[in-house]
Amino acid sequence: LLKQVNTTEPVILLDHRPSDIMAHSQLSIDLQVSGHTHNGQIFPANFIVKAINRLGYGYEKIGKGHFVVSSGYGFWGIPFRLGSRSEVWLITLSGQQNS
C-alpha cells in the first residue's frame, strides 16, 4: 500500500491497534495514530496494557516516526472506567517546507 504513497508529503497511518508499532516504525511514515487499548479501562489493567505493548498509551518517537495511542472516548464491555480517562486528542501538525 505504501508503494503508492508520495513520501515527500506527510504520511499518516491510522491503525486501530498499536500492536504493530515496531514493524510500522520501519516504514516511511511520519505519524501513526492508534487506540484500542483504552489504556486498560479499569485499574490495574493499565499495567497489563503497558506490559504487552511497546506503546499502550501516550506518545513516543521511534526512529523517524511519531506514534500516539489514545485511551479513546468510549469503553469496551462494561460502561465504566477506573484509572483511565476518556479523551479526544486534537493533533496539530506543523512542519517545514523542503528546499
Q: Where are the domains of the chain?
A: 1-99
In what helix (H) or strand (E) does residue 85 lie, and over which residues does it extend?
none
Each residue of 32-80: pLDDT tens digit?
999 888 887 888 888 888 888 889 899 999 999 999 999 988 888 888 8
Query: Cell 499518516, residue?
Result: 12
For 41: left if phi > 0, alpha if psi spans -120 to 50, otherwise beta; the answer is left
**99: pLDDT confidence band, cut at 50, 70 and 90?**
low
The Cα 30–Cα 58 span in angstroms is 16
The Cα 12–Cα 30 span in angstroms is 6
Q: What's the pLDDT at 66? A: 96
Each residue of 23-42: pLDDT tens digit?
999 999 999 999 888 887 88
SS (H, E, C) 28-49: CCCEEEECCCHHHCECCHHHHH
For 11, the grid coordinates are 504520511
